[in-house]
Amino acid sequence: MSTPTPHYMIVGGGITGLSAAFYLKKRLEAEGRPFRISVVEKSAAFGGKIHTLEKEGFVIEKGPDSFLARKRPIIDLAYDLGLEQELTGTNPKAKKTYIVRQGKLHRMPPGLVLGIPTQMTPFMKTGLISPLGKVRAALDLVLPKREITNDESLGHFLERRLGKEVLERIVEPLLAGIYAGDTFNLSLKSTFPQFRTMEQKHRSLILGMMASRKNVPEETAHLPAAIRNSVFVTFKKGLQTLVSGLVAALESADLRKGLGVASIRQVGQQAEVQFEDGSSEIVDGVIVTSPTYQAAQILGHFPAASELKKIDYISVANVIMAFDRKDIPFELDASGFLVPRNEGSTITACTLTSAKWLHTAPEGKVLLRCYIGRSGEQEWPAWSDEQLISKARHDLRNLLGLTAEPLFTEVTRLNHSMPQYPVGHLEQIARFREELSTAMPQVLVTGAGFHGVGLPDCIRQGKEAAWQLADRIIH
């Protein structure tokens, strides 16, 4: 009697799930093992948060728009899919970034890395920080390191190293772009563990950041020449290229859209997956990659799933607007600007998309993207699209003098989309995973809610889960 082909199921067809399926398939093929892989996606499309829209010659990202070039997993994946020639970098003529201070745009001083000064002269000259605030930030050079091993909040760490002003006026708005969070509620160990390492190794965050910058050319040496000098990278036709590439590479897999998973239970040495349409299937291994609040529901009967409920998600909206170049009353020589919390604006940032990414707009046209919503500013989901557009236009009028009527607008609502890793997050998810591996060894749970929200981190986590499943179940 022949043994049935082992069947592995990936729940969620975002970048984590598609990467997990891709690397599981690659590994099993390389080992010459028989297998069947299914990817089950609740919505009508693969890609999760990634959504590129091509409209009237514009390339519009409604979710993520790019990634950090120095993070290898996504570049490796582009090579694995034969897509490396599709990669493109930012416009070198639009490298400046601005920060709003008392209603005016100030240039971010050159040499800031994640908001940490690495060149003292431009930092000392900036109008963004008061003389006292600069002296306080410079204290980082002499303050002793703190000998603690416990987690602490990112805000608390940055305030004790660089002072309140640098935190509030520069670092927080910058990092808010990544987490949309309140730095005092975010775990240092889970968001920027390198900051702690720098403090431990160099005593000072500034000195640590300066030392780490020296390694940058080495880190980018592996990149195709076209993107080697760009901090951020994307695909010429948008991030959808990556999703389409993964879906094409998974052609032989069983890709199901519009089907949600309701629950997963251990049944002997296998797992029973119950779908929202009432059907069910027995499989040999599962990787769940949905947001953690959905994973907590799927594993609702499992007590340790309550750890996943501790991860809050922030909702964000984007208002994207297209204009005629002639209607734009300012230079397009910057990538955009950030708005700190206390400025009284609705928008938290604005990307001058077509200045930063030359491929995103046709000749003579301009694309702008405004961000709305962050921790503590969660009233926007009650607003209509018209209200979101009107508030974004009001802010652009005040900050940039932009009064023209847009050619068109696109509003994206990403409810519960930005995970907020709480202080102690690493310990919480370690506890969850340990208990899960004992109770349900056939089931792994991963994705943006665990070890990094950026696309490269999601790909890494998808790959790690695939390899873990292969090691745990198959061997």
What residues line the site for ligand FAD (CB under 6 A)?
Answer: 11-17, 40-43, 48-50, 63-67, 260-261, 289-291, 294, 298, 316, 414, 417-418, 447-448, 453-455, 458
Beta strands in 254-328 (DSSP E): 254-256, 261-267, 270-275, 280-283, 285-288, 312-324
- Residues 319 and 389 sit within 8 Å (Cβ to Cβ): yes
Residue closer to ligand FAD, measured from CB, 199 or 464: 464
Q: Least distance (Å) from ligand FAD to the CB of residue 448?
A: 3
Q: Least distance (Å) from ligand FAD to the CB of residue 128?
A: 24
| Backbone φ and ψ of 271, nearest 5° | -125, 140
Measure Cα distances from 19 to 81, 135, 190, 195, 359 in Å.
11, 46, 22, 28, 26
| Backbone φ and ψ of 410, nearest 5° | -130, 125
Determine the Cα–Cα distance for residues 78 and 297; give it in Å rounded to an integer.
Answer: 33
Determine the Cα–Cα distance for residues 313 and 261; give it in Å rounded to an integer.
Answer: 20
Residue closer to ligand FAD, measured from CB, 209 or 414: 414
Burial (CB < 10 A; 0-12, 13-18, 19+), residue 386, is: exposed
Residue closer to ligand FAD, measured from CB, 11 or 423: 11
Residue closer to ligand FAD, measured from CB, 453 or 470: 453
- Residues 192 and 156 sit within 8 Å (Cβ to Cβ): no
Determine the Cα–Cα distance for residues 160 and 157; give it in Å rounded to an integer.
Answer: 5
Residue closer to ligand FAD, measured from CB, 345 or 353: 353
Q: Least distance (Å) from ligand FAD to the CB of residue 157?
A: 22
Residue closer to ligand FAD, measured from CB, 42 or 202: 42
Residue closer to ligand FAD, measured from CB, 152 or 272: 272
Q: Is 328 left (phi over 0), alpha (psi -120 to 50) or beta?
A: beta
Q: Give the tokens for residue 10.
A: 């990936």
Residue closer to ligand FAD, measured from CB, 123 or 302: 302
Q: Least distance (Å) from ligand FAD to the CB of residue 450?
A: 9
Residue 469: CB partners within 8 Å, gap ≥ 6? 8, 24, 285, 287, 444
Residue closer to ligand FAD, measured from CB, 23 or 67: 67
Determine the Cα–Cα distance for residues 294 and 389; give it in Å rounded to an integer.
Answer: 30
Q: 10 Å Cβ neighbour count for 31?
A: 11
Measure Cα distances from 308 to 211, 260, 303 in Å.
36, 19, 10
Q: Least distance (Å) from ligand FAD to the CB of residue 234?
A: 8
The tokens 């799933």 sit on which residue?
A: 305
- Residues 162 and 227 sit within 8 Å (Cβ to Cβ): no
Q: Least distance (Å) from ligand FAD to the CB of residue 43?
A: 4
Q: Least distance (Å) from ligand FAD to the CB of residue 17?
A: 6
Q: Least distance (Å) from ligand FAD to the CB of residue 344?
A: 22
Q: Least distance (Å) from ligand FAD to the CB of residue 160?
A: 28
Residue closer to ligand FAD, measured from CB, 48 or 173: 48
Determine the Cα–Cα distance for residues 474 and 468; give it in Å rounded to an integer.
Answer: 10
Residue 22: CB partners within 8 Å, gap ≥ 6? 77, 80, 246, 249, 250, 462, 466
Element containing residue 410 per DSSP (H, E):
strand 408-420
Q: Least distance (Å) from ligand FAD to the CB of residue 159?
A: 26
Residue closer to ligand FAD, measured from CB, 180 or 209: 180
Q: Least distance (Å) from ligand FAD to the CB of residue 353?
A: 11
The tokens 């060894």 sit on which residue?
A: 441
